Structure 1
């Protein structure tokens, strides 16, 4: 006799209370192993795959792709037998007991059964053809017509290699991230036809983009969910010369959810709670650029400019620790940190993210360069974990990559300060009493006026500028 167990959306940590279903990895009737990922969801922090702690046959799925579910809402139900099939060890009523993303059993799970062929989808047809699909609005789950007992028997047969050809098919195509898989699906590209350039044939985003360019079509990324329908209104009469095919829509609504929604909430809270002020200064970065060129010419791993700026930041925070703090409003206390967890703003296809380099004060330029590169790639592919996006104590914002000179950024709540760096461009500059063309950069510091006054903020920014202009100043703190 089979038993039907319900698996609910687990607590994803870091205070997250909901997640959006991006893609189902299994269908009703599929056989799943313990700790096999069954659904891909997007939270306000990252894109993650959720593993199921039960092994058996999927009997129902709750929610269509694009639906937001709160933590604790049902995800799927699984029919499991009272005893695991002989020789499998991956089904049963107990499950793994692990329901948090990123945790699994010590044993390797059985090979995953291949899900349906990926095809480009759009609009309302994105979920058409799913077995027994029901509308997410009324919360009804998908269900199979076959009895649960028959499904459990099928699970046992599949576990013993008796459930037909699907049990012997190869596993999923190795792809670096769910975003790359989605990009291929939205552009009708079969990943099985690609040869990955990553380790062990791993398919990277660059491989998909190259294949699309070779096929003569650009990558088209559709939104994860359909926008809300526009509010009904009386349309304005179009000019006589305008054709219906070229008429612009009255309005387009995009839900503030996922990363975009989290960013909106955090920035609004920062503006409400933090009395911020900004000061800025121009600095001659010519010597810093020469120092970096000399470092990279000496051999070894290349040093990034962002790493050198980060090293300058940590040295400045050691001299002005008031800015490496936060305000506990309820206790009316300023909490000063003894470590520097350095966040850096990174723009991605999914929105603005701020990955955090842990213990940046204890890293050299090579280590900082490597960690910036790793976190930037993880942000680009949507694989940053919640832990890599939280816990920062100070933020470095290199908005110069957008081709702008200056900015007054909003502080990354609940931190107390943010250093902004504009583009480095040749400008007229008085150097050693003569007018010369130098590499000039504008530096800005936005700070919480509750933690310090202008003297501290100005001293911090002036020290940063001095290090940019004369990198040898850093030798005092190395």
Structure 2
């Protein structure tokens, strides 16, 4: 007799508490092997494929594409044992088919994270009014096709009733609260809201993030605002684009940067003619089969690491709780990359220890991963300084927003021919505008200006960079 096991959305690491289902990779009734990817999800950090640690027949899926699920919510159920759908055969010799699969599974979910030990069964606590989940019927051992029909796909409610019942835990001495998402609890704690006083709008009274945010607005609104809200509850029309996934994470980080960081910007025009000539000479000297060409971005990244060695104040972060500036030893250089899913900032680890060629190769690899949506969460976090080449969009200048919690960002405009006084004569030179936005808490204008001037000097006279090599 097969055993039906429930596979839940695992802990994806990096403090992530929820993910959006982008694409299902299996259908109900499919045979899955141990550690076979079953769903593609998008978190606030990246797109990842989630492998199932069980081998067997998929009997149910929970959530349609586009649904956002919290960590711990069911993804699918798998009938483990001697179940095999009629008309299909498992690959022999693989050791990962449905037949003979171990109910314990592999324990692997995402590379670097995993499922850990099996969860210990605990007594569920339900508030009054929440019905117990109905037991899903199990398919006979002779065929998996009836199982696919008997166990329906949870496609209507974003969070099934079974999740509600299992996620209801005591939130105080006065009784349990119907909350699934840890983010909802955190939001309520931050605003001193008692979840027991809220009415949930989700399935079976589940308290959603929208319920908490509505309560926050009602508490903080002035009497005049509350009156207007009561009289005109309708929201303006037009197309609505959810701020979630990568785009939502970027929006939250940029808003936090504006709230917390007292930034300032300085800029300078630089003659990049010699830098472009040096790049041409470097690529020409390599010859056929010498490896990838050196990019302008790689040269600018190497200049940044040299400048940060001279001005380490800008490779730091502010610990607001301790009221301390933390100067960081390694330079983990982020660079802005535009993708179809929005702006992401991959990070080149230990850039201070890399050559220009090594930095360029890593930038190429990370850029390709960003465009295909295969960046790992660890490749999008931990940056200490960001290089933003907005010149690729055909603009000359910008005042970039600092990538929180970093202390500075260097912006680079397009390199274009312009009239320029060179050696006392008016000439057409290739000019670029450089801008530095910095956290005024970590340094004053003198330090920021010195950093930017050094970068400009390296751009105008690349031989200056030789001193740092």
Report deviation, 1:143. 11
1:181-205, CA deviations, whole angstroms, 9 ceiling, x for partnerless residues?
Answer: xxxxxxxxxxxxxxxxxxxxxxxxx
Are residues 1:100 and 2:110 paired?
A: yes
* Number of residue pairs the alignment of both structures matches: 357
Within 5 Å, give how 1:203-242 maps onto structure 2: none
Are residues 1:269 and 2:256 paired?
A: yes
Report deviation, 1:26. 1.1
Q: What residue number does 2:30 align with? A: 30
Gaps of 5+ in 2: 85-89, 116-131, 148-231
Report deviation, 1:148. 4.6
Q: Counterparts of 1:153 and 1:145 in 2: how far apart (Å)?
A: 13
Within 5 Å, give how 1:180-329 maps onto structure 2: 251-299=238-286, 300-301=290-291, 302-329=293-320
Q: What residue number does 2:156 align with? A: none
Gaps of 5+ in 1: 106-139, 156-230, 236-249
1:294-352, CA deviations, whole angstroms, 9 ceiling, x for partnerless residues?
Answer: 10111223110001000100000000000000001001111111110000001111100
Are residues 1:397 and 2:408 paired?
A: no
Are residues 1:439 and 2:449 paired?
A: no
Q: Counterparts of 2:70 and 2:247 in 1: how far apart (Å)?
A: 18
Q: What residue number does 1:463 align with? A: 454
Are the structure 2 counterparts of residues 7 and 146 from structure 1 closer, same or farther at C-alpha, using a change threshold of 3 Å?
Answer: closer
Q: What residue number does 2:329 align with? A: 338
Q: What residue number does 1:163 align with? A: none
1:247-276, CA deviations, whole angstroms, 9 ceiling, x for partnerless residues?
Answer: xxx511010011110110000000001000
Q: What residue number does 1:54 align with? A: 54
Q: CA RMSD in A?
A: 2.9
Report deviation, 1:450. 0.5
Q: Counterparts of 2:135 and 2:112 in 1: how far apart (Å)?
A: 28
Report deviation, 1:141. 11
Q: Counterparts of 1:54 and 1:17 in 2: how far apart (Å)?
A: 23
Report the more deviating stretch, 37-46 or 321-330. Answer: 37-46
Q: Counterparts of 1:92 and 1:366 in 2: how far apart (Å)?
A: 48
| Counterpart selection for 2:344 from 353, 366, 379 | 353
Are residues 1:89 and 2:58 paired?
A: no
Q: Counterparts of 1:449 and 1:366 in 2: how far apart (Å)?
A: 33
Q: Counterparts of 1:273 and 1:70 in 2: how far apart (Å)?
A: 28
**Conserved in 2, the CA contact under 8 Å of 1:284 and 1:439?**
yes
Q: Counterparts of 1:280 and 1:87 in 2: how far apart (Å)?
A: 64
Where 1:461 maps in the other structure, the secondary structure is: helix
Q: What residue number does 2:139 align with? A: 147
Q: What residue number does 1:449 align with? A: 440
Are residues 1:472 and 2:459 paired?
A: no
Report deviation, 1:40. 1.0
| Counterpart selection for 1:376 from 351, 355, 367 | 367
**Conserved in 2, the CA contact under 8 Å of 1:51 and 1:101?**
no
Are the structure 2 counterparts of residues 312 and 87 from structure 1 closer, same or farther at C-alpha, using a change threshold of 3 Å?
Answer: closer
| TM, length-normalised to structure 2 | 0.71
Are residues 1:416 and 2:407 paired?
A: yes
**Conserved in 2, the CA contact under 8 Å of 1:61 and 1:143?**
no
**Conserved in 1, the CA contact under 8 Å of 2:29 and 2:144?**
no
After TM superposition, what 4+ stretches of structure 1 lie above 4 angstroms from structure 2? Answer: 82-88, 101-105, 140-146, 151-155, 231-235
